[in-house]
Amino acid sequence: MTIILKNKYTLIYKEFEFKCSTGFNGISWQKKEGDRKTPKGTFSLGPLYYRSDRYIKPETKLKMIKIEKKMGWCDDPNHKNYNQLVNDTKKIKCEKLFRKDSKYDFLIPINYNIPSVKKNKGSAIFIHLTRDYRKTLGCIALKKIDFLILIKLINNKTKIKIT
């Protein structure tokens, strides 16, 4: 099955509709690093990352990975690990996954610009949490209650179609 981003405010999976937020500058086929756009296309999903210090293991069929303090997602186009999980957030320019706020308490990487990573094409595109539906830097954000419902429904074969 496929999750569909119907428009920049609605994510649909089967008969479920979830309010969401997307990139500040809309949705685009021409995604570039730092452009604040959500990429168009159909993509597979990565594993569920979660903060085990804040939450018990959630119910899902997805592979799960606990977020550790040194975890980040490299957003430096000139680094060899661009658009990949890294474990040294002090030496590598990256999006830190272990944050004080709750935005990344749960996240699923959208496999955009993966596995054939292209320099400057964009990185760290996730489905993550929001409290207020503020626009994102290119990700898709859901309220925690909706995110927890979605992860119960999907599995490792689920894709996302962003139109």
Amino acid 91: pLDDT: 84
Could you tell me whether strands 48-50 and 64-66 are parallel, antiparallel, or unpaired per DSSP bridges?
A: parallel
Quick one: average pLDDT of 66-87? 96
- Mean pLDDT, the chain, as a whole number? 96
Residue 89 confidence (pLDDT):
74
Using CA atoms, how far apart are residues 86 and 111, in angstroms rounded to an integer?
A: 16
Handedness of CA 24, 69, 45, 114 (dihedral sign): positive
pLDDT digits (tens, 9 = 90+) for 115-132: 899 999 999 999 999 999
- 68: pLDDT confidence band, cut at 50, 70 and 90? very high
State yes or no: pLDDT of 34 exceeds 80: yes
pLDDT for the residue 126? 98
Record the pTM: 0.96
CATH code: domain of residue 115: 2.40.440.10
Least confident piece of the model among 46-60, 86-100, 145-159: 86-100
| Structural domain span for residue 110 | 2-162
Per the structure, how many domains does the chain have?
1
Instruction: Phi first, then psi: give them for residue 146, nearest 5 degrees.
Output: -70, -40
